[in-house]
Amino acid sequence: MPVGTQATVKTLSPDDLRMAGAEIILGNAYHLYLRPGSDLIEQFGGLHGFMAWNRSILTDSGGFQVFSLGHLRQLHEEGVTFRSHLDGSSHLFTPESVVRIQQELGSDIAMVLDECTTYPSDENASRESFERTTRWAQRALDAHSRSDQALFGIVQGGMHAHLRQESAAQLVELDFPGYGIGGLSVGEPKPLFYEMMAVSAAALPTPKPRYVMGVGAPDDLFAAVAAGIDMFDCVLQTRLGRNGGLLSRQGRLNIRNARFRTDPGPIDPSCDCTTCQTFSLAYLHHLFRSEEILGYRLASLHNVHWTVKLVEEMRQHIRSGTFAQLHRQFLAGYAPPNHVAAADQRKKWKGRDRSS
Amino acid sequence: MPVGTQATVKTLSPDDLRMAGAEIILGNAYHLYLRPGSDLIEQFGGLHGFMAWNRSILTDSGGFQVFSLGHLRQLHEEGVTFRSHLDGSSHLFTPESVVRIQQELGSDIAMVLDECTTYPSDENASRESFERTTRWAQRALDAHSRSDQALFGIVQGGMHAHLRQESAAQLVELDFPGYGIGGLSVGEPKPLFYEMMAVSAAALPTPKPRYVMGVGAPDDLFAAVAAGIDMFDCVLQTRLGRNGGLLSRQGRLNIRNARFRTDPGPIDPSCDCTTCQTFSLAYLHHLFRSEEILGYRLASLHNVHWTVKLVEEMRQHIRSGTFAQLHRQFLAGYAPPNHVAAADQRKKWKGRDRSS
């Protein structure tokens, strides 16, 4: 799912997204509640009508954003009070109000308000955090009334395997139609991230969608699918695109690199996106050197399309029983992220990964 | 002609431009010579191939940009030396080199190197300036060899009617396939601008295209067509768009204005562009308030489309003999530019109007 935090997937129009093959995009309750207001969006037929997107939408509850963007936040059993990062105004999010906001937004899938456990967190703090998330999940479920909208619970538990299992078990008890896995890819070492993702996924029922939140690097997507994950979202494709990072089977390219100045080839010869079918690396290099907005858009379009196609390929290989082979092949050809990726990683460590 | 200074009409893809009805766009020899280099562009099949635009292109000679953007410029009979605004490197433009650059760019219409008379300029300085432009025009004609490219001369003469007539007469003597009218809309009062435009146009042969350079505000387009002008270019549509200024039959709207926050209507009910057909003023307002790139693009797309349609309408009314009526009707309904326009005007006064 490409991320459309503020009712737009950055640089892309609904037509671009359809051309890129996106079936579902993300919106964000925190951002849209603050601006332009979920009540306003409701008057325009919800987020679908407001942004003219006729395919599916999942809205994140805004829990993560309150913790990463909100100022002076105070957490209590009732909910969380915070000041807007836009104008300093004071707000209270409760499990109930966040359900109401998402019902106004009219997304197809809503997420419960969760407490995103900070990293690192010891066992006691992690337990307190996921147990509150479960109590909030129950309240969200009680408040939820829209039958055309699915509400997902969110597994937390920090980096403690047994806590994640407990968290999952409590939520499964509540019988959500699908489950998010939160609090991952927040700065922890990759092996720990993969382990916690696998433990969380294994503790959730296979027939229901399992969604790992804020994950989107190609190698992480393979690890997620291998762990049984069905859904993921990430700003990486569009943020990387705006910064000149381009995804290809060989790894990430930095289009600003001088070696592309005269290159007549496409980003990825196997890619059938508009950018690869129409424009040379040399032209994209020129657009980025000249800081032209069209460059940010063409790069984002490619990255989203390329990722959607990659996931389609995974799906085909799962059906034909050859996913493990595809996974090995991909990793063998895919170079580790270069310095564009490193810059992206630094931003991620600031804890804003799911935010813009 | 929408302006694509750096091999892209800002925020718009070639597909957007075709959808907006653009038949011809502008490129700029000064900018493209400096970056990425006209020799590189030639290797990609010229500007058409490089930017994937299969309709017509006119390239400006870069004379105006040398004077408005170049540093430490020195004017002499041979040509003009200047330092690049990008990296300070030293360059010489001559009438011959500027023809060569545009032949490499492969535009359909090239412009001679002209000396853009500063405003205000007294009669002696204006005479010296246009006479040099004529001598340079002769040299450009001698250097020009591409039979699939038209080369236009440029009328100068400052704000002196009889000098503009002399300038035009000298160029007509050289028998160019078309003529530009330069040095207008550079800060002079509007009545003087209109007078000089009319005098210049009247001194040029009717069967050949007459092109007033750097003019594009809707009311100015009407004045230009009334004076017999056939072609114009301006950054106004895209620059205004990026700044939240939207063209409509009622005048310019500033989309950031709070009155649009809840407005479900389109920019202009009579406009059939994608923006007006798909998105509300409220959504556009939200995109601009959120500084989302999609907003800049949707606004630019509308402004270009709206202007192309307006000119098509003028053409129909000329054919049916009712242009004067349309002109009066338009002016009666069109409010004078608001503060968005004023901001645009300030930039214009800095002399960068044709540059970006």
**pLDDT, tens only, B96-127:** 999 999 999 999 999 999 998 889 999 999 99
Residues written for chain B: 356
Position A97, amino acid: S
Of B36, B44, B298, the CB nearest to A264: B44
Cross-chain Cβ contact A294/B8 below 8 Å: yes
Residues written for chain A: 356
- How far away is chain B from the Cα of A320, in angstroms, using its nearest Cα? 38
Confirm whether pTM is higher than 0.90: yes
Residue B350 or A280, more confident: A280
Contact partners, residue A25, CB within 8 Å, separation at least 6: A1, A2, A3, A4, A9, A17, A53, A55, A56, A57, A58
How many helices (H) and strands (E) are present in chain A, helices listed first? 16, 12
Structure tokens at A4: 């459309």
A212-216 own/partner pairs: CB under 8 Å, 24+ apart: A212/A180, A212/A181, A212/A184, A213/A60, A213/A64, A213/A154, A213/A180, A213/A181, A213/A182, A213/A184, A213/A354, A214/A64, A214/A182, A214/A184, A214/A185, A214/A186, A214/A353, A214/A354, A215/A184, A215/A185, A216/A307
Question: Which pLDDT value is given to residue A227?
Answer: 98
B108 flagged as catalytic? no
Cross-chain Cβ contact A7/B43 below 8 Å: no
Q: Is the pLDDT of residue B348 over 70?
A: no
Of A52, A285, A294, the CB nearest to B11: A294
Chain B residues within an 8 Å CB radius of A262 = 40, 43
Question: Which pLDDT value is given to residue B350?
Answer: 41
What is the average per-residue pLDDT within B181-189?
95
CB atoms within 10 A of CB B11: 25
What is the average per-residue pLDDT within B218-223?
97
- Element holding B80 (H helix, E strand): strand B80-83
User: Residues in chain A whose beta carbon is closer than 8 A to a beta carbon of chain B?
Assistant: 6-8, 10-15, 35-36, 40, 43-44, 50-52, 261-262, 264, 274, 278-280, 282-283, 285-287, 289-290, 292-294, 296-298
A114 neighbors A181 (Cβ within 8 angstroms)? no
Chain B residues within an 8 Å CB radius of A282 = 36, 40, 44, 50
CA–chain centroid gap for A321, Å, is: 27
Q: Is the pLDDT of residue A74 over 50?
A: yes
Average pLDDT, chain B: 93
Pick among A290, A297, A301 to test the B interface (most B CBs inside 10 A): A290
Q: How far is residue A90's CA from residue B297's CA, in Å, rounded to a whole number?
A: 33
What is the average per-residue pLDDT within B45-71?
93
The residue in chain B having the minimum alpha-carbon distance to the alpha carbon of residue A292 is B10
Minimum mean pLDDT range among A65-74, B264-273, B316-325, B332-341: B332-341
Q: How far is residue A14's CA from residue A338's CA, in Å, rounded to a whole number?
A: 30
Question: Which pLDDT value is given to residue B347?
Answer: 46
CB atoms within 10 A of CB B23: 10
- How far away is chain B from the Cα of A333, in angstroms, using its nearest Cα? 30
What is the average per-residue pLDDT within B46-59?
98
For tokens 């999952």, what's the residue? A168
Q: What angle do CA B310, B311, B316 make, to 5 degrees?
A: 100
Q: Is the pLDDT of residue B149 over 50?
A: yes
Minimum mean pLDDT range among A168-182, A257-271, B8-22, B62-76: B62-76
Confidence of residue A335 (pLDDT cuts 50, 70, 90): confident
- How far away is chain A from the Cα of B337, in angstroms, using its nearest Cα? 26
Cross-chain Cβ contact A7/B298 below 8 Å: no
Q: Does residue A52 come out as left (phi exceeding 0), alpha (psi in the -120 to 50 range) or beta? A: left
Phi and psi at residue A102, in whole multiples of 5°?
-70, -25
B220 flagged as catalytic? no
Q: Is the pLDDT of residue A204 over 90?
A: yes
Q: Is the pLDDT of residue B353 over 50?
A: no
Chain A residues within an 8 Å CB radius of B19 = none
Question: Which pLDDT value is given to residue B104?
Answer: 98
Confidence of residue A66 (pLDDT cuts 50, 70, 90): confident
If you compute the radius of gyration of chain B from its CA atoms, what whole number of angstroms results? 20
What is the average per-residue pLDDT within A117-139?
96
Of B8, B280, B285, the CB nearest to A287: B8
User: Which position among A114, A220, A233, A268 bears the catalytic label?
Assistant: A233
Cross-chain Cβ contact A294/B262 below 8 Å: no
Cross-chain Cβ contact A44/B14 below 8 Å: no
Confidence of residue B345 (pLDDT cuts 50, 70, 90): very low
**For A141-160, what is each residue's pLDDT tens digit?**
999 999 999 999 999 999 99
Q: Is the pLDDT of residue A30 over 80?
A: yes
Chain B residues within an 8 Å CB radius of A7 = 283, 286
Structure tokens at A256: 């600003």
Cross-chain Cβ contact B50/A8 below 8 Å: no
Cross-chain Cβ contact B8/A264 below 8 Å: no
String of DSSP letters for B328-343:
HHHHHH-PPP-HHHHH
Strands A251-254 and A245-248: antiparallel
Question: Which pLDDT value is given to residue A64?
Answer: 87
User: Residues in chain B whose beta carbon is closer than 8 A to a beta carbon of chain A?
Assistant: 6-8, 10-15, 35-36, 40, 43-44, 50-52, 261-262, 264, 274, 278-280, 282-283, 285-287, 289-290, 292-294, 296-298
Phi and psi at residue A77, in whole multiples of 5°?
-60, -35
Question: Which pLDDT value is given to residue B343?
Answer: 43
Minimum mean pLDDT range among A59-73, A259-273, B43-57: A59-73
Position A116, amino acid: C
